[in-house]
Amino acid sequence: MPAINISDEDFLKFKEYFYRKTGMLFEDSKRYFVDKRLIDRIEATDSGNFRNYFNQLRFEVSGEELQQLVNVMTVNETYFFREEYQFKCLVNSMMDEVTRKKKDDSPIRIWSVPSASGEEPYSIAIYLLEYWSGIHRWDVEIMSSDIDTKIIAQARRGHYSTRSVMNLSKPILAKYFTPQAGGYQICEDLRQAVEFSRVNITNAVDVRNYRDIDVIFCRNLLIYFDDASRRQAAEMFFDAMKEGGFICLGHSESMSRISSLFRVRKFPDAIVYQKPWEA
Amino acid sequence: MAFIKKQQSSTETEDERQAPRDFEGLCEELNHADSQVRRWAVRDLVEMPNASSVLVDRLEHENNVSVRTGILNALAQLRDTVSLNGLIECLRSEDAALRNESIEILKELPDEVGAILENLLKDSDSDVRIFAVNILESLRHENVEKWLISVIEKDSHVNVCSTALDLLSEVGSEQAIPAIKKLKVRFPDEPYVCFSADLALKRIEEGSQ
Amino acid sequence: MKHILVIDDAATVRLYHRNILETAGYSVDEAINGIEALEKALVTSYDLYIVDVNMPKLDGYGFLKEFRRQEDVLQSPAIMVTTEAGNQDKILGYVSGANLYMTKPTKPNQLLSYVRLLLGEVA
C-alpha cells in the first residue's frame, strides 16, 4: 500500500473545516502533529487517501468520525497538581473570598474545563480536602467537562500511570490511591466527588446548564482557539459565573489577549481573573 | 458538609429570559435595571429584524462593560448599514473604552469596512483617521499598502502619519520606500518619525533581500 | 537601577521609548495593553509607568484607575502619553491617576525631563 500523503492544500482544507466545526485552529507549526493523527484516522477507517476520508467526514450524518478526530487532536498531557500555585491560591484565597461573600449556604460550584483524564478536577478535590478547612462547613460541587468522550470515560475510571502521580507526596498517594498493575487507582470517594460531562464550550446549548459558578479552571485550552473563538469562550464563561467569581487560565495564557470582561486580581499565590461585582 | 453532585433542582437554573421574547418586550428589557437581563435581551434581539437601531441607541448610554460588549458583538453579527454607522460613530465617542472596543470589532468586518475606509481616512478629526489606520491593520484588504502610502504622502497630521508608518514597517514593500523617505523630510523635527521611518526602511530592505 | 514599565499597543512606540530610556540608564519592561500592564504591575514594583491612552482590551485610563485602587502595591507615578491634545482628555487622565501628561509624538529630551522629575532626580 502506498504511503498516505497530506498535501499543503489538504492541510489547509482540513484546518478550515475543523476550525469551523470546533473552533480549534491549528498553526502551521502543528502541521506534523495534525498530519500524523489524520493519517492514523485515514488508516483506521480504511479510507485509503485524504480525499476519500475528508468526504466521508464531511457528509457523515452521525458526526461520529468528527468526534473521533476531536478526541485524537486534543492533547491530553496532564498530571496531578500541575501548575500547583493555582490550587494553593484556591485554598488560601479564592475559597475564603467566595464564602465570605455568599448570601446563603448553597453549594460552592467549581468547574474544571477541559477535564482531560481527570487529574485537574481530582487535584482540586484533594487540595480542598487536605488544605481548606471550610470543606467541613460548606458543600462543594466539582463539575468537569471535556469535548472528548473517550477521555471522559477514562477520567471517570480514575486509573493513572506512575508518571501522572509523580508530584504527589507519599502520604497523599497512600490516602487517596491504591497501587494497581501499571499505576494507581483513585479512591471511590474522589470518583464520586466529581461530576464529569461532555461539553463543547463554543456551543451555547451545551453550556446552558452551567450557571452560578464560583470558580472556573480553564487551563491550556484557549491557546488552541483563534481570537474570535477565545472571545466567545470568555463571554460564555462570564455568563456561567457568579458575580465575584474567579477564573484561572494556564501559566502561558493571559486575559490581555482574550477579553476585557474580567478584572485582574492579585493574590499571594497567583494572579487570577474575576467577574466584576455589579456597581 | 462535603462534596456533592449536581442536584436535579440546582441544575435547572432559572432561565435568564423573563419577559416575552417579542421585539417590544426585548426593547423594554434593554432598559432593565439588571445588567444580566439587558445582556440576554441583546442576544435575543440579534435574531430580530430592525434590531440594529435600538441596539445602537442603547449603546450610547450603556455603561455596563458586559452589556456593551454584547451590543458591539451583536452589531458585528448584524453587519447592516445601521450597525456599521453605529460602530463608526463610536470612534468619535469621548469614552476611550468604547472607542477601542469598536476598533476591535470593526477590524473583523473587512468587506464592510473596506468599502468606507477611504472616507474614514479623509475624516476631519485626526483621531478618527488614526483609528481608521488602526483598523487597516488587520483588514487583509488588497489596497492596504496603497492606502497607507497615500496617508503618509498626504496627511498633514504627524500622529496619523506615524500610525500609518508603524503599519507600513510590517506590511510595506519596496513600493513604499520613496514615500517613507519623503516623510522624513516632511517632519524633520520629529525624532519619532525619523526613528520609525528608519525602522520601516530597514525592515522592508531586509524583507526584500 | 530604576525600573520603568512602558505600556503601548504599538510595537514601534514601545521600542522608541525603550531606546530612549535604556540609553539614559533605566531598565525597561513592556506591556501591550492595560490588562497585561496590570498583570505585570501587580507583581513587580516599577518606579514609573509610561501609559498610552488608546489600547485594546483595557485602555490607559482604565489601567490607571484599576492600578490606583490596589492597596498593597507601590503607587509609583505615571506619565500619560496620547495623541489627543484636548483639555478634556488631560482632566480625565489626571482624574484616573496620571501625574503628568504628554502629547505624542514624544521628544527624547522632554520625555527624559518628565521622567527625572517624577523620579525625584532633578536637582
Cβ contact A52:A89 at 8 Å: no
What b/e sequence results for A149-188 when a residue is b if at least 16 CB atoms lie within 10 Å of its CB, and e otherwise?
A: eebbebbeebbbeeebbeebeeebeeebbeeeeeebbbee
Using a CB–CB cutoff of 8 Å, tell me whether B188 touches chain C: no
Tell me, what's the pLDDT at B17?
64
Using a CB–CB cutoff of 8 Å, tell me whether A101 touches chain B: no
Helix (H/G/I), strand (E/B), else coil: C16: helix
Distance CA A106, CA A66 (A): 39
Using a CB–CB cutoff of 8 Å, tell me whether B115 touches chain A: no
C32, C43, C57: best to mutate for the A interface, most A CBs within 10 A? C57
Distance CA A122, CA A137 (A): 20
pLDDT tens digits for chain B (209 residues)?
A: 588 887 544 444 455 566 678 898 899 999 999 998 999 999 889 888 889 999 999 998 898 999 999 999 999 989 999 999 999 999 999 889 999 999 999 988 888 888 889 999 999 999 999 999 999 887 767 788 999 999 999 999 999 999 999 999 888 899 999 999 999 999 999 999 999 999 999 988 876 65
Tell me, what's the pLDDT at B208?
63
B13, B66, B95: best to mutate for the A interface, most A CBs within 10 A? B66
Helix (H/G/I), strand (E/B), else coil: C25: coil
C107: which 3 cell numbers? 521628544
Distance CA A126, CA A91 (A): 11
Of A179, A197, A195, the closest CA to residue A187 belongs to A179
Distance CA C92, CA C107 (A): 23
For the CA atoms of A204, A208, A211, A215, the dihedral, rounded to the nearest 10 degrees, stands at: -50
Cβ contact A117:A155 at 8 Å: yes
Distance CA A139, CA C103 (A): 55
Of B6, B13, B108, the CB nearest to A141: B6
Distance CA A245, CA A95 (A): 10
Tell me, what's the pLDDT at B10?
43
Tell me, what's the pLDDT at A203?
85
Task: Give CA separation, A127 vs A86, B30, B93, C42, in Å.
Answer: 11, 43, 48, 26
A264, A266, A271: best to mutate for the C interface, most C CBs within 10 A? A264
Task: Please list the residues that pair with C17 across neighbouring strands.
Answer: none
Distance CA B130, CA B159 (A): 7
Q: What type of residue sits at position A246?
A: F
Burial class of residue B171 (count of CB atoms within 10 Å of its CB; 0-12, 13-18, 19+) = middle
B204: which 3 cell numbers? 522592508
pLDDT, tens only, B24-71: 889 999 999 999 899 999 988 988 888 999 999 999 889 899 999 999
Strands A159-160 vs A183-186: parallel, antiparallel or unpaired: antiparallel
pLDDT, tens only, C44-75: 999 999 999 999 999 999 999 999 999 889 99
Using a CB–CB cutoff of 8 Å, tell me whether A125 touches chain B: yes
For the CA atoms of C58, C62, C65, C68, the dihedral, rounded to the nearest 10 degrees, stands at: 30
CB contact under 8 A, C59 and B127: no
Using a CB–CB cutoff of 8 Å, tell me whether B94 touches chain C: yes
Query: Hey, how many other C-beta atoms are within 10 angstroms of the C-beta on A199?
Result: 22
ipTM comes to 0.92
Cβ contact B136:B146 at 8 Å: no
pLDDT, tens only, B8-17: 444 444 555 6
